[in-house]
A and B are shown apart, each in its own frame.
Chain A
Amino acid sequence: MEIKLEVNRKHYILDVTEDERLLDVLRNRLGLTGTKEGCGEGECGACTVIMDGKTVNSCLVLAGQADGRRITTIEGVGSRRSPHPVQKALVEVGAVQCGFCTPGMVLSAKALLDQNPKPTDDEIAVGMSGNLCRCTGYDKILRAVRKASEEVAE
């Protein structure tokens, strides 16, 4: 079946299968491998993308459900020349270890700050609660989001 997608400001018309997931479309059809599959059941958040301004687990979104929607993946956020404040803070605070959760973390943090540029610590914790990290213990990740929020708010 045919779906229309906007991914990182590019428009696509794709022929997909009915049981394909948005995650599969991004990784296998568009080669956007920054979106990771960690659990395949919406627990870990490694496959997080932003769909029409809101984070979703792309492993739980069927391709058909993404039809006509605007998607931002990690490849659409920041660049080496101009990193997003969240990306910069994660690096500087030392919140990146194995990095497998990192793209999802960046997208959750970005979506949070887009909506709420000055979150409280509790709001940060809730905003990041759908993303698991097995390496860091979260403390530095939350500190990085706090640091990024200070930069965004300036």
Chain B
Amino acid sequence: MDYFRPLSIEEALGLAQQPGRLFLAGGTDLSLHMREGRINPLGLIDLGKIAELKEIRLEGEWLEIGSMTTFYDLGQSDLIRKQAKALWQACQTMGSPQIRHQATIGGNLGNCSPAADGLPPLLALGAEVELVSARGRERVLLADLLKRTPLLESGTLIKGFLIPLQGWDSGFAKLGRRQALAIARLSTAFALKRQDGVALEVRAAFGAVGRRAFLSEPLAQSLSGRVLNESWLEDAVKGSQNAVAEALGSRASAPYKRVAVGGVVRQALKTMLGGGNHDGD
């Protein structure tokens, strides 16, 4: 196996032209998959030395997040806390301190585990993904990207994420078998554009429910344009239960998850609606 340490995106894309090579982000999943023999790449292209991929910044109407930003960096960022609360919350609880120091948001998408903690918040926040390859650049809604199979053409690098700055509130919650180090059994993120006590627009995302994280369009529509009150909240809970039941079908986990999602959604909504402050817990 070859191991490359490119210093620029261009260099990385050049190296990726050869077949059998994989981009290495934080590696917390990739290195394990290699040890287990689940993948046997001919080469690894370590993205760790490309500074450009580690930036978090405001760019016009967008919040830009480089793909090699770690969960720790995101969880420490004031910009993320203020502009992308659900993502900030997810970054506080993913894995353990050691994992958060190493795992990256780009790797979370690239590996695309059903339980990837970073994806429901990005979906709810309406994030777009910037992809680059030798063939060129592409900007695509994360929600659309997640419908593709395979997720990424070979040689495609996830450069970063762009979250529209629209003043939405958002909240995240997950259910794990224990608090730390637990892979999410269920996660949800909601985002909301509100005015004068009315939910103008809503997005609702779920993780660890089915193959990949997804946005529920019917749920979003049923909750949009309504007064934010107790019955809105109860409908959000019921709608989430229906969305999860539908997504899981007859899977063994369905009876448990379609009930459990109620509590998880309440928790996410509570952090999102709690007085409308953006300053975290």
Q: A: which residues have CB within 8 A of B?
A: 1, 18-19, 21, 40-43, 45, 48, 51, 54-57, 60-62, 64-65, 67-68, 108, 111-112, 126-127, 129-131
Contacts and interface: CB of A to CB of B under 8 A. Distances in A.
Given A45-B98, A65-B46, A129-B97, A18 B1 contact: yes
16 contacts: A18-B2, A19-B34, A21-B31, A42-B99, A45-B96, A56-B98, A57-B98, A60-B31, A60-B98, A60-B102, A62-B46, A64-B46, A112-B97, A126-B97, A129-B96, A129-B181
A85 to B, nearest CB: 19
A43 B181 contact: yes
Interface of B: 1-3, 5, 24, 27-28, 31-32, 34-35, 44, 46, 48-49, 72, 95-99, 101-102, 179-181
B1 A42 contact: no
Contacts of A127: 97
A108 B97 CA distance: 9
B35 A55 contact: no
B32 A42 contact: yes
A40 B95 CA distance: 15
Contact of A55 (B2, B34, B101): B101
A41 B38 CA distance: 14
A57 B99 contact: yes
Given A21-B31, A60-B28, A130-B181, A65 B2 contact: no
B179 A129 contact: yes
B60 to A, nearest CB: 32
Contact of B27 (A41, A45, A60, A67): A60
Contact of A57 (B3, B72, B102): B102
B97 A65 contact: no
Contacts of A56: 98, 101-102
A48 B31 CA distance: 16
A19 to B, nearest CB: 6
A48 B101 CA distance: 12
Nearest to B1: A18
A56 B34 CA distance: 19
A55 B99 CA distance: 9
A62 B24 contact: yes
A61 B49 CA distance: 14
A8 B181 CA distance: 28
B97 A61 contact: no
A84 B2 CA distance: 41
B72 A54 contact: yes
A129 B31 contact: no
Contacts of A21: 31
A21 B180 CA distance: 24
A23 B133 CA distance: 33
Most chain B CB atoms below 10 A, which of A60, A127, A129? A60
A64 B32 CA distance: 15
Nearest to A40: B35
A64 B5 contact: yes
A130 B99 contact: yes
A130 B24 contact: no
Contacts of A131: 96
B97 A42 contact: no
Most chain B CB atoms below 10 A, which of A42, A112, A127? A42
Given A43-B181, A54-B101, A60 B32 contact: yes
Contacts of A68: 49
A68 B179 CA distance: 34
Nearest to A54: B101
A45 to B, nearest CB: 6
